[in-house]
Every structure is written in C-alpha cells, then in structure tokens.
Amino acid sequence: MSSNVTASWANLYPGPPEGFVLEPLSAFFPLITYMSIITVGLTAFLARNKPLHDKVMIGYFIISVFIHFNLERYYTHWNHTILDPTNNDLMARVWRHYGISDTRWWGQQPGIPKSQYSCMYGLEWLAAYECGPLVLLTIILAFYDSPWRWAVQSAAVTAQAYGLFITWLPAFYEDLSSVPACFVFGLINNHPLPRVLRLQPRNLHLHIPFSKPPNPRRVSENDPILYWGYFIGMQSPWAFFPVLAVIQSGWETVKIFNRVKELEAIVGKTKKQ
C-alpha cells in the first residue's frame, strides 16, 4: 500500500469537536444496574428449565435484544444528532461515551460526506431490523422448546458476527483512522480534569512535552481501557457467542436427526414383526 494512500487516511474521520467533554462511565451505572436486573430476571423465568450453558446463551440473547432494538435502532434514525450537545437522549449519551473508542459511532458530522458513514448505517440497520427480530424470535422459540430455534438461532448469530467483523476489519484496514489518536488524562494546558477525560483532535498540537509524536496508528493501544476494554472488549461477545451458538445449534440438530433415525428403526422393526 502506498504511503500516499495511508497519509490520506490521516484525517479520514474527524476528531472530537471543540470543547467535547466525556461523560464519565459512572453516569451510566444506573442503566447498567437496571438492565442487569431485568436480564437476570427474564433469564431466570424464560430459561428456568434449561441447563446452565443454555441459561447463559438466553441471557446473551436478552441483552442483544435490548441493544438491537434500542441503541442500534437509535443510530439508524438519529446518528446525525448524537454529537449535538443539547441532545440528552439516553441513547445519544451512550453513543457519545462509547464513541471515544471509535469515532464512527458518533455518527455523521458536518462537512463529512454522508457516504463515509454508509457502512456503519448499513450494519446498524442490519443489527436493528434483522438481528433484533431474529434474536427475539430465538428467545420465544427457546421458551416453547421448538426445534425451529436452532435454525433461527444460527441465522441470527451469523448476522451478528457479520456485523462485528464488518466493524472491525474496515477499521484496521484504514489504519485505525477512526480510533482517536490522542487520549490524554490529567492536565491539559494546566487545567485539572479530575475523573473527566477530554479528547483533543489528532490534528491539534498538544501542549504536553513528548519525546516524539505519538504513533497515530497505534497510540490508542497505549490506553488499555479505551482500546482493549472498549474497542475490543465490549464488542468481542459478538465474536465468541455466535461461534458457541452455531456449535450448540449444530449439536442439537444432530441429536434431533439421530433421534428420528432411532425412531424410524424402531418403527421398522415393529412393522416386520
């Protein structure tokens, strides 16, 4: 790949807007607690007669439904309002916070071609209007012990995994241009920022002595929370659970076919007698 192409990606995605102040994670603790209680309660009811591994899978599906129908549906309709400082909608606040790990989640920004965000719009539409209904249907079918669950479950998690990798792969292909290059804790221009993270756009000079400029491609990896916790960690369940769900579906489907063969053999012996 030519250096000219790589250089052209340096400003592919804009940095945080001037004066952007990150809302602390603690502001979302009530939401996290509320959703955790609901998820545990629904799982206990819907999967009460199922083994532990399936309870975990059902719990994952319940969390997925909340995310698909709320957070991701919000992005498909109102992503252009996420960075509006007057927008206090809970989903916008969540996107503003999570966007510190990948600015594409801040939605379309002024002066940036709409086509630049078409991939994100497409995958969030997929998540909201395909993954969401399929995952919900999987939960319903699981509650009624329908064998159709395994086919629907495989389709649902395959779409989820596709959404994840179409998020990650372009980001790495573009040299992580959408992952903010300057994450600075502590003092900026001698202004203390206790428990608050302020982000500086990558093209602004930071008045902090560096022995050399930070690497714009990998600097975010210097912060384990923002890179490994947010960019990688918070999305990784959609890599692992789909694999486990497909294996589970295949295993249960094979068991069904084997049982049918056993019954056919029994019926065949009965007829001969």
Q: Is 181 exposed, middle or buried (0-12, 13-18, 19+ CB in 10 A)?
A: buried
Return the structure tokens found at 77: 């309709």
Core vs surface per residue 34-70: b (16+ CB within 10 A) or e: ebeeebeebbeebbeebeeeebebbbbbbbbbebbbe
Q: Is residue 154 part of a domain?
A: yes
Q: Is residue 183 part of a domain?
A: yes
| Helix, strand, coil percentages, rounded to 5, for the chain | 65, 5, 30
What is the chain's mean pLDDT, rounded?
A: 80
Q: Is residue 9 part of a domain?
A: no
Residues 131-186: pLDDT tens digits? 999 999 999 999 999 999 999 999 999 999 999 999 999 888 877 778 764 333 33
Structural domain of 248: 24-200+215-272
Q: Is residue 12 part of a domain?
A: no
Q: Is residue 13 part of a domain?
A: no
Residues 91-106: pLDDT tens digits? 999 999 898 888 889 9
Nearest CA-CA partner of 59 in 43, 80, 83: 43
Q: Is residue 59 part of a domain?
A: yes
Number of domains comprising the chain: 1
Q: Is residue 160 part of a domain?
A: yes
CA 221 to chain centre: 18
pTM (predicted TM-score): 0.80
Phi-psi region of 197 (alpha: psi -120 to 50; beta: other; left: phi over 0): beta
Q: Is residue 250 part of a domain?
A: yes
Residue 259: pLDDT above 60?
yes
